[in-house]
Amino acid sequence: MSARLIYLTLVATLLGAALSGCGLPGTPSFSTTKTGPLEIDAAQVQLNPENAKQIRAGVLEYRGGLELSSDMGNFGGLSGLSLSPNGDILVAVTDQGDILRATLLHDKKGRLEGLSDVQLHRLRGIDGKHLSQRPDKRDQDSEAIARLEDGSYLISFEIRHRVLRYEDLRAKPVLFATPPGIEKAPRNGGMEAMTALPDGRILILSEKLRTKGKKSGDYIGWLLGPDGKSLGRIYWPAFGIYRPTDLAALPNGDVLLLQRRYTVAGGLGIRLSQIPATQLKPDTRMLEVELARMAPPLSVDNFEGLAAFPHPAEGWIVYLLSDDNFNPLQQNLLLQFYLPEN
């Protein structure tokens, strides 16, 4: 067995523990933490470390990628992902209730080559206190973030399932929604994927809540109005053992869906698909079109963040972000792809 295969097997085993809600070796005590400006290392990564010439994954064209790391104990666990309107600012949430903000650096061809102005800040709860300061750690697990047209943000949380609305990410939020039935979701299998649609509606998918129990049936989601009121449930027919981890709306109303799978034998894998805007209706089982699948030896980790931005010519630039679970054997990867329009 090669050293790389041994590494991937160990990572997959530890990730399996994390995805099952078990304790994970390497989870930090946060004795060394920092907020405000943050120094990070951003090392270039190839799509396929074993074949530098490979730039295709399905219909996606690889344009660059970074492995992000820092000596600060509270850096990591990066989950949901959002971009500024002009596509140059990255905002991500973490499993510890923090917000990461950074400027994306590109070369002359628009390829991702680094980050600058990196900052890490604590999120506040509806009582105004930082989530990291609350005695009940169940309030911290932020999983998805969506930027609204007015510049405010929605952030979904697991364990204590809820969606909060932030006028300012450093300010006190208000409760936006607690979708009906979400209380039945597993503690670490709630509102994992969320995006704001161009018409103002909010689309949310659960990670483990399904129509026939935790291991079968369709994945349950919700369509919410701009005021947070439920417009009805929506469903994603399960595709094998893949689970939803994030969503990204396109300007034409279609939605990209990021999915993750894990097996001890096959390790980590992801799948990206596109859901037509016509499928985004209450009580609908959403049909989709597969765009790409990725598995080892490609640069794959626990991808939980997805964002898309219009390409200057045509098509879209797509970013994927992985959650290292604060585990030194995993990686925080930020990958950039080009997705053609047709």
Non-local CB neighbours of 271 within 8 Å, separated by 6+ positions: 239, 242, 258, 259, 260, 261, 290, 292, 293, 294
- Block residue for tokens 């049936």: 217
* Residue-wise pLDDT tens digits, 197-212: 999 999 999 999 999 9
Rounded CA-CA distance 281/273 in Å is: 18
Domain containing 80: what range?
A: 3-339
Q: pLDDT band at residue 61, thresholds of 50, 70 and 90?
A: very high
Q: What percent of the chain has pLDDT over 90?
A: 75
Q: What is the pLDDT of residue 194?
A: 98
Give yes or no for a contact between 202 and 154, defined as CB atoms under 8 angstroms apart.
yes
**How many independent structural domains does the chain possess?**
1
* Residue-wise pLDDT tens digits, 299-334: 999 999 999 999 988 999 999 999 999 898 899 999
Rounded CA-CA distance 104/62 in Å is: 16
CA 56 to chain centroid: 22
Q: pLDDT band at residue 29, thresholds of 50, 70 and 90?
A: very low
Beginning with the edge strand found earlier in the chain, give each strand of the sheet holding 162-166 in spatial order: 142-147, 153-157, 162-166, 174-177
Give yes or no for a contact between 259 and 239, defined as CB atoms under 8 angstroms apart.
yes
Q: Please report, as a single letter, which amino acid is at residue 222.
A: W
Give yes or no for a contact between 295 and 303, defined as CB atoms under 8 angstroms apart.
no
Element (H, E) at 13: helix 3-19
* Residue-wise pLDDT tens digits, 73-92: 889 999 999 999 999 999 99
* Residue-wise pLDDT tens digits, 101-148: 999 999 999 999 999 999 999 999 999 999 877 666 678 889 999 999
Rounded CA-CA distance 258/94 in Å is: 17
What is the token pair recorded at 328?
Answer: 């030194």
pTM value? 0.90
CATH number at residue 122: 2.115.10
Average pLDDT in the chain: 89
* Residue-wise pLDDT tens digits, 230-245: 999 999 999 999 999 9
| DSSP string across 158-185 | TTTTEEEEESSTTS--EEEE--TTGGGS
